[in-house]
Amino acid sequence: MFLRACRLEPVENVPVWFMRQAGRSLPEYRRARGNVSILEVVRRPELAAELTLQPVRRYGVDAAILFSDIVVPVAAIGFGVDVQHGLGPVVANPFASEADLERLRPLQPEVDTPYVIEAVKIAVEGLSPFGVPLIGFAGAPFTLASYLVEGGPSRSYARTKALMRSDTGLWTALLDRLADIALASLRSQVIAGAAAVQLFDSWVGALSRADYERYVMPASRRVLEGLKDLGVPRIHFGVDTGELLALMAKAGAEVVGVDWRVPLDEARARIGAGFAVQGNLDPAACLAPWDVVANEAREVLRRGSGIGHVFNLGHGVLPETDPDTLARLTDLVHATSPDSLR
Ligand code: 1CP
């Protein structure tokens, strides 16, 4: 159902999965992971594949997303990125000058990230009894650049935007390298068996339309267009991208991820015909009493209209979410007839 919805084909039920469904709120995740750091988990394919499968077993979701992180490829080529527990990616020596480009050599997935390829293969095999496809993913050039330039998570992206405007040549070279790295990683995941891909441009909503089009869209397009021959659905997602939705679709996606700020029918109007949408229940709504969650989920389904809609949250599952809520949510989505939504 997930792949059919991505292709705008009729479905018996609206497919559903949750961003950041692996880990976080699952007790079996905490048990399996122990104290191992995320980058270390990713280097253990059996464990990464197991964590990928857990939410499929528990929730019955229609798609799995590979357990990995957006900084894995740049860490693998030795840029010097760590992921700090409870914080996120941290870069000891942020990207600042022409010389730093040399720290971003091309990714050779078979040599640099063989464990990702292996994890995809093991996960795909484990998913086959469920008939559930695997989504491969990568960080989009802007969002990755923001970590490399800021040195860690940021609110304003001030340094990133300063580089973008003050040395546009260097900025373009940086984004082109990150695009090539994301593309190589995604191609290797698809060749190993991923049936769809998601390009996470989580923080690109910080930009105006004009700046997105000028400074970012060419690099994101390079990634998405570079996947076209593989024939898998391409999902393009960011947070706070209400103003950018149409451009993100045009960058070369079949499915546009929408956060909770824009209702799906309005998002579709902005994007135009011919695209599927993914989203967009507010992750924080999952912390409300069940009746409230159910009503908001029904509203999302109604606005999604049952065709070309992949049900999801508007961003990742919050760590404090009760896994039972996600299980009930999955059942609710599956029990709703798409015909009743039109
Ligand atoms: O379901 C899953 O959890 C799948 C695995 C997954 C995915 C899809 C992880 C594991 N990370 C991601 C993608 C990711 N990583 C994104 C895009 C999705 C999103 O917008 O949430 C981003 C922006 C990152 C960067 C990152 N890595 C952050 C965000 C930091 C910030 O700027 O606020 C964080 C906290 C991490 C660490 C991380 N990645 C994944 C896990 C399980 C963890 C936590 C590790 C820990 O705390 O020990």
pLDDT tens digits, 180-203: 999 999 999 999 999 999 999 999
Minimal-distance CA residue to ligand 1 atom 41: 38
24: pLDDT strictly greater than 80: no
Answer yes or no: 155 catalytic: no
pLDDT at 342: 80
Find the CATH number of the domain harbouring 263: 3.20.20.210
Q: What percent of the chain has pLDDT over 90?
A: 95
Query: Does an H or E element contain 148, and which?
Result: helix 141-150
Domain of 224 in residue numbering reads as 2-341
Minimal-distance CA residue to ligand 1 atom 21: 316
To test the ligand 1 pocket, which listed residue (20, 41, 200) has its Cβ within 8 A of the most ligand atoms? 20
Minimal-distance CA residue to ligand 1 atom 47: 85
Name the H helices within 157-259.
158-166, 168-191, 209-211, 217-225, 245-250
301: pLDDT strictly greater than 80: yes
Query: Does an H or E element contain 28, and which?
Result: helix 27-33
For residue 201, give both structure tokens: 């441009």
pLDDT at 27: 87
Contacts of 231 (CB under 8 A, 6+ apart): none
Name the nearest CA neighbour of 201 among 178, 231, 228: 178
Domain tally, the chain = 1
The dihedrals phi and psi of 258, each to the nearest 5 degrees, come to -125, 130
Average pLDDT, rounded, for the chain: 97
35: pLDDT strictly greater than 90: no
pLDDT at 230: 98
pLDDT at 152: 97
Report the nearest atom of ligand 1 relative to the CA of 69: 11
25: pLDDT strictly greater than 90: no
Mean pLDDT computed over 104-127: 98
Ligand 1 touching residue 83 (CB < 6 A): yes
Query: Model confidence over 311-326: pLDDT tens digits?
Result: 999 999 999 999 999 9
Q: What percent of the chain has pLDDT over 70?
A: 100
pLDDT at 193: 98
Long-range contacts of 287-294 (CB under 8 A, 24+ apart): 287/318, 287/320, 287/321, 290/325, 290/328, 293/325, 293/328, 293/329, 294/328, 294/332
The full DSSP string for 289-304 is -HHHHHHHHHHHHHHH
Q: Is residue 308 helix, strand or coil?
A: coil
* Catalytic pick among 29, 59, 115, 147: 147
Residue that has been written with the tokens 């720290």 in this structure: 103
To test the ligand 1 pocket, which listed residue (58, 70, 84, 317) has its Cβ within 8 A of the most ligand atoms? 70
